[in-house]
Structure 1
Amino acid sequence: MPMSPDRAAFSLDCLRADSARLAEVARLGLSADVPSCPGWTVDTVVRHTATVYLHKVEVLRLGRLPDPWPPDLTSRDALDLYDEARAKVVAALEQAGTDLPTWTFSPDDKTSAFWYRRMALETAVHRVDVEQAHDVVTPIDRALALDGIDEILVLMLGGPWWEEGDTSHPVDAGVRITSEGRSWTIRADATSATVTQGKEGEVDAEIFGEANDILLWLWGRRGSDTIQTVGNDTAVEAFRNRVAECTT
């Protein structure tokens, strides 16, 4: 489905706001540890996010994956690099619009619209990483968080990645997630993960919570104490581990 102008503007607004907030908090100290990403510091997050931005600038410019990649950016000041990269990715998206054919990892969307959504969500999660490092966490926009739940379930979990059965977490259960009036029903086994909108059918476990909390739990940025569950706890744990497999 094409991205509407309103949705494109919303994604860019979120990208601008969250990338600015990330930079603001990062200036509190680059050496602080990121509690939800063992081994990462704020400097790691800043450099990682800047490199992701620059990669997407090249993807949009070339219409394919850049090769070779990545460039050697180790000599750059982290915050200068980040500020440059976030300006470039916003400009690249604005120039591309939402209909430009380009490489994406989605089986269904090979247009620049994909990167509007992905960059807004990438930035929101990494903004929280930096905020957690300095204990100044603010919530992700509700509409963006709901879109992020949909992305991680439909695209990342529900994509055609499991046909060979190469998972350590086959799940073999039905799980439903409900947040802010929306529901997703997931049925997973070793070779597939099917995601449908709505509440049709029986499931082994249900997960509830605010969109911000569920999105961050799915991304491993929050513990299970921030969500509510009913049903089979083992299915919930296996489901969360399966999500982690497709997001790392």
Structure 2
Amino acid sequence: MEFTRLLDCLAADYDRLRVVADADPGAPVPTCPGWTVADLTRHVGEVYLHKTVAMRDGVEREDWPPKEFAEEEPAALLDRGYTALRAEFAVRAPEAPAATWYGPDQSVGFWIRRMAQETVVHRIDAELATGQPVAPVPDDLAVDGIDELLKIFAGYSVAEWGEYFTDVLDASPGRTFLVRAGDTAWRVRTGPGEFTVTDGAGDGTADVTLSGSPQAVLRRLWNRHDADGDDGTTVEGAPEAVEELRRCIVEATQ
């Protein structure tokens, strides 16, 4: 996606999150056990400010969040964080250097993409918590989010921090997963110490096929789908194979 488009999506989802979060700050968030909407709001504000510092100072601070943040109202912290984040994006080109946890991309553009995706997932959290309708996720943003989740979160994490995936992958017989989101597809291969992703459906059969609209697949992979009823996806494959993919993604995103 173009960075201007990602920034537009970030703005729209921030605006939606801000409105929804005010509806019921005390509501529990089912997709983030132990959090209320106020906790979620505070978290997003803290994340925005953390990434602002990563761009400004060139380092991702580990001593975060600062203790004084706890004295700030969650909505005020969210507003302050978003204002600071957008101000930082406004004075830096996407290709400018920035500290990130993803070795291959140490640029401001990484955080533009990551914050757009962070915000859409958390505004869905807030909508689910408050019982409000989940606003549509644009197809291009959803496809980009699936790509980020599979390649950068899961694929990179397994390659760099494989010890965290030992319980999931060491006993894997080697499996192939086909993920289809509308007209876009990815082929995933797992095995001991392996989570590789290639673009396209590829050749041959898959042990598991997950398909649906881009929005539905994004929400399913992020475990943000509705708990009851049809979530708009189709999953074909053995339960143990489906569970392997799910556990890899959970481990990569926690």
TM-score under structure 2 normalisation? 0.91
Q: How many residues align?
A: 243
Q: Report the AA paired with residue 8 of structure 1.
A: F
Mapped partners of 1:33, 1:69: distance in 2? 24
3-state SS in 2 of match to 1:53: helix
Structure-2 change in CA distance of 1:166 and 1:132 (3 Å): closer
Q: Is the 8 A contact 1:18 1:124 kept in 2?
A: yes
Aligned match of 1:98 in 70, 94, 97? 94
* 1:216 lines up with 2:219 in the alignment: yes
Match of 2:26 among 31, 48, 56: 31
Instruction: Tell me, in whole angstroms, the C-alpha distance in 2 between the residues paired with 1:140 and 1:162.
Output: 31
- Structure 1 residues 220, 30: closer, same or farther in 2, change over 3 A? same
Instruction: Give me the whole-angstrom Cα distance separating, in 1, the residues matched to 2:142 and 2:123.
Output: 13
Provide the residue aligned with 1:194 in structure 2: 196
Structure with the higher fraction of residues in helix conformation:
2
The reply to whether residue 145 of structure 1 matches residue 148 of structure 2 is no
Question: Does structure 2 retain, via aligned residues, the 8 Å contact 1:176–1:183?
Answer: yes
Equivalent residues of 1:162, 1:190 under 8 A apart? no
In the other structure, the counterpart of 2:5 is: 10
**Which blocks of at least 5 consecutive residues in structure 2 are unaligned?**
none
| 2:164 and 2:251 in contact (8 A); partners too | no
Distance 1:164 1:35, change over 3 A: closer
CA separation of 1:190 and 1:162: change in aligned 2, threshold 3 A:
farther
Q: Is the 8 A contact 2:165 2:251 kept in 1?
A: no
Q: Which position in structure 2 is the counterpart of 1:3?
A: none
User: How far, CA to CA, are the matches of 1:68 and 1:180 in structure 2?
Assistant: 41
The offset of 1:165, in angstroms, is 6.8
CA deviation profile, 1:173-208 (whole Å, cap 9, x unmatched):
110101121110000112010100011133211110
2: distance between equivalents of 1:17 and 1:166?
A: 35
**Could you tell me which residue of structure 2 aligns to residue 178 of structure 1?**
180
Q: Distance in 2 between matches of 1:167 and 1:101?
A: 33
In structure 2, the residue corresponding to 1:38 is in which secondary structure? coil
- Who is 2:167 aligned against? 168
Native 8 Å contact 2:182 2:213 kept in 1: yes
Q: Once the 2 structures are TM-superposed, how far is the Cα of residue 168 of structure 1 from its aligned partner?
A: 2.2
Instruction: Give the letter for the 2:168 counterpart.
Output: H
Between 121-130 and 224-233, the greater mean CA deviation after superposition:
224-233
Cα–Cα, structure 1 residues 83 and 193, in superposed 2: closer, same or farther, change >3 Å?
A: same
2:85 aligned with 1:89: yes
State the distance in 1 between where 2:106 and 2:250 align.
24
Map Cα deviations across residues 136-192 of structure 1 (whole Å, 9 max, x no partner).
Answer: 121212110100000000111111235447432214311010112111000011201
| Whole-angstrom distance in 2 between the partners of 1:169 and 1:155 | 18
The alignment partner of 1:174 has SS state of strand
Distance in 1 of aligned mates of 2:199 and 2:161: 20
Deviations 1:195-240 (A, max 9, x none): 0001113321111011111111111112594220223232112111
Q: Percent identity?
A: 35
Q: In 2, Cα distance between the equivalents of 1:83 and 1:165?
A: 35
Instruction: Structure 1: state its 5+ residue gaps.
Output: 1-5
TM-score (norm 1): 0.93
Distance 1:221 1:37 in 2: 10
- Are 2:121 and 1:132 aligned? no
Pairing 1:156–2:159 present: no
Q: CA RMSD in A?
A: 1.6
2: CA distance, partners of 1:128 / 1:229: 22
Q: 1:164 to 1:30 in 2, by over 3 A?
A: closer
For structure 1, which segment, 45-54 or 75-84, has the greater mean C-alpha deviation from structure 2 after superposition? 75-84
Q: Secondary structure of the residue that 1:27 maps to in structure 2?
A: helix
